[in-house]
Amino acid sequence: MQYSDEEFVKFLGEGSYGYVYLVRYTKHDGSSFLAAVKNSYDQDFHNLQREFQILREVRGSSRIIECFGDKLEQCISSYGNRVHKLLLEYASEGSLSSFMDNYTDRKLPVPMIRDFTRMILQGLVSIHDHGYVHCDLKSDNLLVFPCKDSSSYELKISDFGNSLQVEEKPHYWGIDFPFVGTPIYMSPESLCGGAKKTLDFWSLGCLVLEMYTGVIPWQGVEIHDLATRFRNGEVPEIPESLPCDARKFIETCFSKKPEERGSAYELLFHRFLRREEEKKTEEKIRSSKKSFLLKLRIRRDSKKPMDISEKKPLKLKNFLEVKKMLS
């Protein structure tokens, strides 16, 4: 893809395998757009290429960052090094981590937490359906966009630099660093074996906990102590102050048996993520059912059992004819 002009705007940060700039591109028709451009040198080309291929496969999902173009862009740096560039849509509100800084104690409103959690799961449905595990879900890798027609926000999953195919083993796994992604968001099973979809749900539980409390999971715990805590069956502390349905959701994500965490699609139907109107409807149905059963019981109890003596004798028609038949 060629443009008539490109203008550097500012430095945005670093990804898993490169640094990111904000660039304004001008098309040949005079229109322009902003793009977050991830840059990598030759040594990280394969990682960037892999990320680009995954993004192309899941292209069209509204909950996953969009990439532009049909291939990676290339240029030569001022030092004569070849640079590979991945063009991504720009999130003006930044990462979820920086977005949370706008709120008191970094705690998000409960309706927003539910909405963001639902959006993450929608993205995971697409990722998992294509046979991938993200492996590095964290607040730095979730981008916030303002909704065009309202004052609300939407969330998209980004940074697929550590993503693996289901059951694939990471080539960078080692005893000195036995984690697939960012340790404080990783699950116990990430310490060994291939990547499983349920790994992402543990990370999701950490994210929900972070949005409620405003602090990262395992705060104050040294990274080298995490593996020991996992082997002892420990999980991040879930405050009792959290709503019951939120605690149940996080506990599901932290299930010691990965298969008990369910699937992304199943988690979307968890009570925690039901909208208030859906909960009210459910309560009405439950209340109506209880009322119906109560009335049925009262009606049944009010019926007086018939005494045998009250039963009238049966009248036989054509008694004589019947008698002849029996004789």
- The answer on pLDDT for 80 being more than 80 is yes
Rounded Cα distance, 263 and 127, in Å: 12
307, 309, 315, 320: CA torsion to nearest 10:
140
Confidence of residue 86 (pLDDT cuts 50, 70, 90): very high
273 Cβ neighbours under 8 A, 6+ residues apart: 114, 117, 118, 121, 249, 267
Do the domains spanning 5-89 and 96-276 agree at the CATH topology level?
no
Within a 10 A sphere around the Cβ of 67, how many other Cβ atoms? 23
Q: Give the HSE-up count for residue 195: Cα atoms under 13 Å, Cβ half-sphere.
A: 23
Residue count of the chain: 327
User: Over the stretch 249-286, which tens digit does the pLDDT of each residue have?
Assistant: 999 999 999 999 999 999 999 999 997 645 545 555 55
Does pLDDT of 316 surpass 70?
no
| pLDDT at residue 78 in the model | 83
Task: Check whether 34 has a pLDDT greater than 50.
Answer: yes
Q: Which residue has the tokens 């004819």?
A: 321
Q: Does domain 96-276 have CATH number 3.30.460.20?
A: no
Let me know the angle formed at the C-alpha of 258 by 230 and 157, rounded to the nearest 5 degrees.
90
Looking at every residue in the chain, the average pLDDT score rounds to: 86
* Model pLDDT, residue 175: 46
**How far from the centroid of its chain's Cα atoms is residue 296's Cα?**
43
Q: Which pLDDT does position 176 carry in this prediction?
A: 47
**Cα separation of 323 and 313, whole Å?**
18
Query: What is the second-level CATH architecture of the domain 5-89?
Result: 2-Layer Sandwich (3.30)
pLDDT of 190 reads 79
52: its two tokens: 């680009």
Distance, CA of 39 to CA of 163 (rounded, Å): 18
To 10 degrees, the CA torsion angle through 46, 50, 51, 57? 160
Provide the pLDDT for residue 25: 93
DSSP, collapsed to helix, strand or coil, labels residue 36 as strand
Is 38 labelled a binding residue?
Answer: yes
As a whole number, mean pLDDT of residues 162-171 equals: 87
Hey, how many other C-beta atoms are within 10 angstroms of the C-beta on 266?
12
Domain boundaries, the chain: 5-89, 96-276
What is the pLDDT averaged over residues 53-63?
95
